[in-house]
């Protein structure tokens, strides 16, 4: 016999990262914005379903049938989802056994993209260039999420409806085009590291870039780089390289996905580097594509200064199914 339905069309949303998971509830009389959000560390639970059961017990829904959307830090293909850089994996069949309803799953950056459809234009902080636009059907957009990794998703219009395109574009090859970028690439090669764009454009990338440009000095936290811009020459050079390469990559993605209506930056690193993203080098590299320079000058680029996009996007996916 099936368990009882949850009153009011309540659903579960989850933001599943490398080191932690956040759960929340959405829908019903309280609306779509996630609520009852709780965080669990991966080191505290042997499996994802262990954390899920703990959350359900905490909110009194352990016997409920719950639709769900999982925003996952990894490629979503098939029943088993490996989390990048984590000992956890997600079994959709296992989650279904707990929730009694087959879950939806999407990449966390695709969730970021869908979250933009639920936000007013005032939530977007412009980074030079044209003013941001409301994210709505009819436009094409791209989202870059910089944090412990580099996520990329496109939001494209098809058949009059916006759909999120999940990608692993952060693992494309890194093309070094400045002396510092070549030093970084050469250092990675000398250490026997296979490197891609995420190797630079991520929190670990900031630390590796500092190591490369300092001649081998290692730091422990990305904040040791971002907070010392203007005081430490190496930190300043690293952040300049990071910001300019981010601009170049954003321009490439705008061309690849026809994202003429907006490029959005999300994630902790982008938020920490907001002042540096206002420097001319970011926009110069973004627009530095000879054949389409003029068109790229018209693309709005914005920072989204929120840390709940994965849960918000998971909620949006419920209404987008």
pTM of the full predicted structure? 0.91
The CATH architecture assigned to 120-305 reads: 3-Layer(aba) Sandwich (3.40)
Q: Which of the residues in the chain have pLDDT under 70? A: 1-8, 320-321
- pLDDT, residue 2, reads 44
**Which of 149, 152, 138, 112 is CA-nearest to residue 316?**
112
**Which of 257, 265, 262, 254 is CA-nearest to residue 288?**
254
CA 292 → CA 5, 251, 262, 267, 277, distances in Å?
Answer: 53, 10, 15, 28, 21
Estimate the crossing angle of helix 179-190 against helix 233-257, to 10 degrees. 100
- Strand 124-126 and strand 301-304: pairing? antiparallel
Residue burial 30-62, b: 16+ Cβ < 10 Å; e: rest: eebebbbeeebebeebeebbebbeebbeebebe
- pLDDT, residue 73, reads 87
Which residues does residue 89 pair with via DSSP β-bridges, in sequence order? 82
The CATH architecture assigned to 11-112+309-320 reads: 2-Layer Sandwich (3.30)
DSSP H or E run through 180: helix 179-190
- pLDDT, residue 112, reads 96
All structural domains of the chain with their residue ranges: 11-112+309-320, 120-305
- pLDDT, residue 30, reads 78
- pLDDT, residue 8, reads 52
- pLDDT, residue 4, reads 44
């Amino acid at each position: 016999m099936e368990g009882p339905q949850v009153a009011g069309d309540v659903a579960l949303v989850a933001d599943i990262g490398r080191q932690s998971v956040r759960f929340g509830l959405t829908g019903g009389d309280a609306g779509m914005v996630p609520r009852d959000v709780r965080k669990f560390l991966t080191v505290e639970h042997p499996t994802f379903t262990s954390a899920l059961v703990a959350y359900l017990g905490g909110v009194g829904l352990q016997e409920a049938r719950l639709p769900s959307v999982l925003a996952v830090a990894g490629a979503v293909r098939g029943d088993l989802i490996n989390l990048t850089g984590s000992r956890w994996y997600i079994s959709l069949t296992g989650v279904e056994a707990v929730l009694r309803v087959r879950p939806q799953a999407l990449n966390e950056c695709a969730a970021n993209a869908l979250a933009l459809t639920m936000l007013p234009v005032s939530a977007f902080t412009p980074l030079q260039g044209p003013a941001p636009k409301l994210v709505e059907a009819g436009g094409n957009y791209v989202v870059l999420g910089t944090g412990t990794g580099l996520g990329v998703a496109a939001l494209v219009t098809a058949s009059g409806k916006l759909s999120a395109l999940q990608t692993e574009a952060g693992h494309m090859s890194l093309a070094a085009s400045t002396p510092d970028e070549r030093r970084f690439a050469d250092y990675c090669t000398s250490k026997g590291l296979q490197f891609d764009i995420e190797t630079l454009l991520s929190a670990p990338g900031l630390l590796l870039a500092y190591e490369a440009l300092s001649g081998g000095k290692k730091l422990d936290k990305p904040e040791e780089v971002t907070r010392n811009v203007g005081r430490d020459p190496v930190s300043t050079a690293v952040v300049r390289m990071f910001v300019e390469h981010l601009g170049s990559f954003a321009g490439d993605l705008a061309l690849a996905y026809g994202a003429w209506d907006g490029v959005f930056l999300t994630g902790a690193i982008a938020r920490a580097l907001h002042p540096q993203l206002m420097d001319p080098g970011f926009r110069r590299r973004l627009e530095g594509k000879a054949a389409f320079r003029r068109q790229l000058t018209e693309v709005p680029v914005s920072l989204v200064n929120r840390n709940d996009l994965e849960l918000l996007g998971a909620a949006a996916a419920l209404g987008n199914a």
